[in-house]
């Protein structure tokens, strides 16, 4: 299991709360007053917005070892719904206490800035990905950007969660993955306790930044 960042000021320790979420549970809702700041200890959270036609749009995601909804540190209310895409454990701290801790610990503030820069790059890649018209291009881009050091991209949730992340219909995603596997572009390791995919041969599309 992941742990909170080592650079967090010690004074935040006694203020830490742990939230256990089942898959599909909401952590907070659109318009709710901001009171706490969150870090994903394990699992995956998504920021969900509702479109005028009623469709859901995933604005951003945070996985094990990442902060969630960083903009909420400076907003009066949440601008999305936070939903657990998998079983999650989430840490939280009072927003004002977190801001005060960063203000009084420059090293922690710098480390947090580095964290935000990494997350910004990831979110830019996601925006870039959703602008791709081809479903296969979106899949290849995702596998390129989200792969770990060993080349494998571990799916935190189900393939239906991945379809939502890529703004594709589940049937379209299943068809694309099957075709990519058939043509030797990807390898899949899908078992009861693990779901992972990696590119084979030449790399996919380049990520943003």
Report the side by side order of strands in the sheet with 88-94.
17-21, 88-94, 36-42, 66-68
124 and 141 share a domain?
no
121 and 141 share a domain?
no
Residue 188 CB contacts under 8 Å (≥ 6 apart), including other chains: 177, 181, 196, 197
Q: Which domain does 152 fall in, by range? A: 133-199
Instruction: Calculate mean pLDDT across residues 10-37.
Output: 95
16 and 115 share a domain?
yes
20 and 105 share a domain?
yes
Is 2 part of any domain? no
113 and 16 share a domain?
yes
Last residue of a domain, one of 128, 154, 177: 128
pLDDT in tens, 100-116: 999 999 999 999 999 88
Is 99 part of any domain? yes
Question: What integer pLDDT is reported at residue 16 of this predicted model?
Answer: 95
CATH code, domain carrying 41: 2.60.120.10
14 and 113 share a domain?
yes
20 and 119 share a domain?
yes
Is 205 part of any domain? no
Last residue of a domain, one of 105, 128, 151: 128
pLDDT at 3 over 80: no
Cβ atoms of residues 140 and 199 within 8 Å: yes
Question: What integer pLDDT is reported at residue 209 of this predicted model?
Answer: 47
Instruction: Calculate mean pLDDT across residues 6-21.
Output: 94
Is 208 part of any domain? no
Question: What integer pLDDT is reported at residue 118 of this predicted model?
Answer: 83
Is 5 part of any domain? no
Both tokens of 159, joined, read 């393939």
Instruction: Calculate mean pLDDT across residues 21-34.
Output: 95
* pLDDT classification of 84: cutoffs 50, 70, 90: very high
87 and 176 share a domain?
no
93 and 152 share a domain?
no
CA 155 to CA 176: how far, in whole Å? 16
Report the side by side order of strands in the sheet with 186-190.
152-154, 195-199, 186-190
14 and 109 share a domain?
yes
Give this prediction's pTM: 0.69
19 and 53 share a domain?
yes
The H-assigned helical ranges of 30-167 are: 95-104, 106-130, 135-146, 159-165
147 and 117 share a domain?
no
Last residue of a domain, one of 93, 128, 163: 128
Count of domains for the chain = 2
* pLDDT classification of 5: cutoffs 50, 70, 90: confident
pLDDT at 203 over 60: no
pLDDT in tens, 126-176: 788 888 999 999 999 989 888 888 888 887 667 777 887 788 898 999 999
CATH code, domain carrying 175: 1.10.10.10
> DSSP string of 146-184?
H--TTSEEE-SS-HHHHHHHTT--HHHHHHHHHHHHHTT
């Amino acid at each position: 299991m992941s742990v909170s960042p080592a650079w967090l000021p010690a004074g935040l320790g006694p203020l830490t709360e742990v939230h256990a979420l089942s898959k599909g549970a909401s952590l907070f809702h659109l318009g709710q007053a901001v009171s706490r700041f969150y870090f994903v200890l394990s699992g995956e959270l998504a920021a969900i917005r509702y479109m005028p036609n009623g469709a859901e749009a995933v604005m951003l995601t945070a996985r094990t070892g990442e902060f969630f909804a960083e903009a909420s540190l400076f907003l009066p209310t949440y601008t999305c719904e936070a939903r657990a895409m998998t079983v999650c454990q989430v840490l939280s701290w009072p927003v004002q206490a977190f801001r005060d801790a960063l203000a009084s610990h420059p090293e922690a503030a710098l480390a947090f800035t580095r964290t935000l820069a990494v997350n910004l790059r990831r979110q830019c890649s996601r925006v870039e990905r959703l602008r791709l018209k081809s479903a296969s291009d979106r899949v290849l881009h995702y596998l390129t950007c989200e792969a770990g050091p060993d080349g494998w991209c571990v799916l935190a949730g189900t393939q239906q969660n991945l379809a939502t992340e890529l703004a594709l219909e589940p049937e379209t995603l299943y068809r694309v993955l099957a075709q990519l596997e058939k043509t030797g572009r990807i390898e899949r390791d899908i078992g009861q306790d693990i779901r992972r995919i990696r590119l084979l041969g030449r790399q996919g599309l380049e990520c943003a930044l």
